[in-house]
Amino acid sequence: MVPMVEQLYTLQQFGIAKDAQDILYDGKPSLTKEADKNGWTPLHYAARLGKQLRVSQLLGLDKSVAYLNSAEEDERKTALHVATSNGHVGVMEEILSHCPDCWEMLNSKGQNILHIAVESEKKKAVEFILKSSWHISLINQKDVGGNTPLHVSATIKTSMASLLRHPRVDKMAVNKENLTALDLISSSDDTLPHIEGFFAKLLKTGSVRGRRNIVLNHNAAVTKRSEARLKKDLKEEANTHLIVATLIATVTFAAGFTVPGGYDGNEGPNHGMAILTREAAFQTFVITNVIAMIFATCAVYLHFIASSYDDGLYKFKRRVALARLLIVNAIVAMVIAFITGIYAVIRKFLRTCNCHVCYWMLLLLFYLQLRS
């Protein structure tokens, strides 16, 4: 490679815009198509570094460079593929604005840019592609292994919800091994947090297993392993629930006998009764404290039932879900009991401040619940 080209690559790689531009315009625009020893052109480097202005300048000199693949046999890719794998949406837009049809090009694996965005776990790039007018041609396209972008999403660590929810995605598509995306999820040994949700969404949206060229016993074994992994994860969640529910039941039980304001120690008809019985705030405290204890106790009992009987994954999952709901309600009731208990015993001028603090506490609880 001539020294001037090497200089251009050095400047391009480190993003020194002015000097690189001077070299290109110094009677050497053909350098835009020259590849280095790795088979990369200046546009490939600009795309990798996310230099949108540099990409625009290079394409302004020669648009055809956007269609050039890197010279590597096993890693053939265009600048658009490089920008996509690095999640540089601005660069992707720039390349497509100059060369609107370069999205059709495939890499050495036969993958389109949607395959690459999903495989690289670049959510913004995936969303950008799915919003384009031409994404329909890519969404169910298969690579050399027959895998669609949905197949690829079943093998990564990040959930691509926008792809899964897309109405045009073919959840029944099979690859060259006659496996659907659901098959890939079922046979995976990973226990990643989003796997269960992805598995459930595929089932809910009508995905089924493919016609595998293997014996039916293997299919049953894969399903059994998958269910065993899900049940293991649910049991770990149930153990956490049990600890939380037990703590709530213990605290609310104790609060029921150490009521705010204490008891009336004077002789008479009210001897031994709570002093603040007639206070509305105290009455609310008693009711919500009892509700919290009942919900927490029910959650503990549900987990006891779930661990004592082996009724299958479906019933176990329903019991854990119901226990989770009871615990959330118990926490809310316990917070309200705390708020009203404090309200009943403090001076009137502090009650307004207490109400404001507790109002924001409840809002925070609901916000966290919605986010989860």
Give the tens place of pLDDT for each residue, 302-334: 888 877 666 666 677 788 888 888 998 998 899
Distance CA 239, CA 303 (A): 8
Better-scored residue on pLDDT, 253 or 225: 253
Distance CA 316, CA 318 (A): 5
Residue 32's pLDDT is 77
Q: What is the percentage of the chain residues whose pLDDT exceeds 70?
A: 71
Per-residue confidence band for 101, with pLDDT thresholds at 50, 70 and 90: very high
The answer on pLDDT for 43 being more than 80 is: yes
Closest CA to 114 of 65, 145, 151: 151
Per-residue confidence band for 25, with pLDDT thresholds at 50, 70 and 90: very low
Residue 138's pLDDT is 93
Better-scored residue on pLDDT, 38 or 107: 107
Mean pLDDT, residues 356-362 taken together: 72
Please state which of the ranges 58-62, 67-71, 114-118, 131-135 shows the lowest mean pLDDT: 67-71
Per-residue confidence band for 215, with pLDDT thresholds at 50, 70 and 90: very low
The answer on pLDDT for 19 being more than 70 is: no
Q: What is the percentage of the chain residues whose pLDDT exceeds 90?
A: 26
Distances (CA, A) of 167 to 103, 124, 132, 161: 21, 19, 15, 12
Per-residue confidence band for 18, with pLDDT thresholds at 50, 70 and 90: very low
Under CATH, to which class is 1-108 assigned? mainly alpha
Distance CA 262, CA 266 (A): 12
Distances (CA, A) of 323 to 3, 132, 224, 337: 70, 43, 25, 21
Distance CA 319, CA 10 (A): 62
Residue 210's pLDDT is 53
Distance CA 186, CA 266 (A): 69
Q: Taking the C-alpha atoms of 14, 16, 17 and 22 in order, what is their torsion angle to the nearest 10 degrees?
A: -120
Distance CA 106, CA 120 (A): 15
Please state which of the ranges 83-97, 282-296, 335-349 shows the lowest mean pLDDT: 335-349
Which amino acid appears at position 119 of this protein?
Answer: E
Domain regions of the chain by residue span: 1-108, 231-371
Residue 313's pLDDT is 67
Contact between 181 and 151 under an 8 Å Cβ cutoff? The reply is: yes
Give the tens place of pLDDT for each residue, 113-150: 999 999 999 999 999 999 998 888 899 999 999 999 99
Q: Over the chain, what is the mean pLDDT? A: 77
Residue 28's pLDDT is 58
The secondary structure of residue 263, as a DSSP letter, is: B
Range among 121-125, 334-338, 360-364 rated most confident: 121-125
In degrees and rounded to multiples of 5, residue 274 shows phi and psi of -65, 135
Residues in contact with 305: Cβ distance below 8 Å, sequence separation at least 6, in sequence order = 319
Residue with tokens 């001037």: 4
Better-scored residue on pLDDT, 40 or 234: 40
Please state which of the ranges 222-226, 290-294, 299-303, 356-360 shows the lowest mean pLDDT: 222-226
Give the tens place of pLDDT for each residue, 164-205: 888 888 888 899 988 888 777 766 655 444 555 555 555 555
Residue with tokens 């540099």: 54
Residues in contact with 134: Cβ distance below 8 Å, sequence separation at least 6, in sequence order = 103
The answer on pLDDT for 336 being more than 50 is: yes
CA 293 from chain centre, in angstroms, equals 34
Per-residue confidence band for 85, with pLDDT thresholds at 50, 70 and 90: very high
